[in-house]
């Protein structure tokens, strides 16, 4: 059996934006239902259609996630915009307004803007007092009063993950809540508590009604945030084998591919560095295509770079290796 300390999370080398984009593109309905149920009941979540990330805000920033969803009552389109913010940024609220304006100008549809904070904010917000922790989901307002009087007021949904206790995420039968156990658990200093969170995550994961590839996605997300020591992993394994032997066998099957994908993720970062060194600045769409390559094709690309000398040649190579849509 594989040693659990050998597990390397699939997403460890990825950014917060990339990790959450992968999670929400697969489970956006569950995300909205978890944090904004009042919005969820107004939307037909079976009509989700993701839009290209081509809307650029200030300083060349691109929206993290934009999806079109139909209103359940009328069938009219609504745009759900999600921004993931890992660090405190003074002008973030104003940037959210800038995105709102650009999205509205381009599509002309109502927008539901959502900010997903991974840090503990210090600004003053108006709490809606609902969902999960009372202060986790709030309405945040940006006021433009630069000329001495208020000329504009813009409000958006703000979700503060740092205010969600991990216990509130268990037993919900929601894959997003399950994945976010890693984000909530990473803040714990007590080793035994970290082990407890991890055991609970894997127990619920193997019982979750999701596709096998979704289990890998959820486990990769969890592991990217919940960085356990080797001793903590051995403790997790001991608890699972002692008290939950059936789950322990299933967890072993999840850990093994994670180990392989973690190795591939390391190769991926090396290949991306080679591409940048050989071709210079890499456009976002090309980098996304490289990230989407399966592990064996990442290694193929490493060899192909010996002959690829232009960005056009790289694009042509990637186009011939795209997995066909089912």
Residue pLDDT, tens place only, 7-17: 334 433 457 88
Average pLDDT over residues 74-93: 92
- Within a domain: 11: no
Mark whether 52 and 121 lie in a shared domain: yes
Mark whether 77 and 147 lie in a shared domain: yes
Write a three-state SS string for 199-212.
HHHHHHHHHCCCCH
Mark whether 173 and 82 lie in a shared domain: no
Contacts of 79 (CB under 8 A, 6+ apart): 51, 66, 67, 68, 69, 103, 107, 109, 110, 111, 112
- Within a domain: 4: no
User: pLDDT confidence of 84, banded at 50, 70, 90?
Assistant: very high
- Within a domain: 315: yes
Strands 43-50 and 77-85: what pairing?
unpaired
pTM exceeding 0.85: no
Contacts of 6 (CB under 8 A, 6+ apart): 259
Mark whether 125 and 243 lie in a shared domain: no
- Within a domain: 201: yes
Which CATH number covers residue 151? Answer: 3.40.1350
Q: At residue 130, does pLDDT exceed 90?
A: no
Separation CA 117–CA 183 (nearest Å): 11
Mark whether 140 and 41 lie in a shared domain: yes
pLDDT at 224: 81
Mark whether 251 and 139 lie in a shared domain: no
Average pLDDT over residues 257-281: 68
Q: Which helix (H) or strand (E) holds 45?
A: strand 43-50
Mark whether 171 and 243 lie in a shared domain: yes
Domain of 277, in residue numbers: 264-319
- Within a domain: 31: no
Mark whether 188 and 216 lie in a shared domain: yes
Q: Among 263, 279, 311, which residue terminates a domain?
A: 263
- Secondary structure class of 64 (helix, strand, coil): coil
Question: pLDDT tens digits for 180-192?
Answer: 999 999 889 899 9
Nearest 5°: phi and psi at 12? -60, -35
């Amino acid at each position: 059996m594989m040693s659990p300390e050998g597990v390397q999370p699939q997403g460890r080398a990825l950014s917060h934006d990339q990790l959450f984009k992968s999670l929400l593109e697969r489970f956006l309905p569950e995300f909205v239902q978890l944090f904004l149920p009042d919005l969820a009941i107004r939307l037909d979540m079976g009509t989700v259609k993701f839009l290209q990330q081509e809307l650029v805000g200030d300083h060349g920033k691109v929206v993290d996630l934009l999806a079109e969803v139909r209103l359940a009552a009328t069938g009219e389109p609504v745009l759900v915009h999600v921004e993931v913010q890992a660090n405190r940024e003074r002008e973030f609220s104003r940037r959210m307004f800038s995105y709102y304006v650009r999205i509205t100008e381009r599509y002309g549809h109502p927008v539901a803007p959502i900010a997903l904070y991974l840090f503990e904010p210090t600004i003053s917000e108006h709490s809606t007092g609902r969902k999960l922790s009372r202060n986790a989901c709030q309405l945040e307002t940006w006021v433009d009063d630069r000329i001495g009087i208020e000329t504009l007021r813009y409000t958006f949904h703000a979700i503060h993950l740092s205010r969600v206790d991990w216990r509130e995420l268990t037993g919900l039968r929601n894959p997003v809540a399950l994945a976010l156990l890693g984000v909530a658990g990473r803040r714990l200093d007590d080793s035994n508590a970290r082990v407890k969170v991890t055991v609970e995550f894997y127990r619920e994961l193997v019982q979750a009604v999701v596709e096998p590839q979704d289990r890998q996605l959820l486990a990769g997300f969890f592991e990217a945030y919940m960085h356990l020591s080797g001793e903590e992993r051995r403790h997790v394994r001991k608890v699972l084998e002692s008290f939950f032997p059936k789950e322990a066998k299933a967890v072993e099957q999840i850990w093994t591919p994670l180990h392989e994908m973690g190795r591939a993720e390391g190769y991926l970062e090396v290949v991306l560095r080679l591409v940048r060194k050989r071709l210079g600045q890499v456009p976002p769409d090309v980098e996304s295509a490289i990230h989407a390559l399966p592990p064996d094709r990442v290694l193929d690309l490493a060899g192909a770079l010996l002959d690829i000398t232009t960005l056009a040649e790289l694009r042509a190579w990637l186009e011939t290796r795209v997995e066909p849509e089912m």
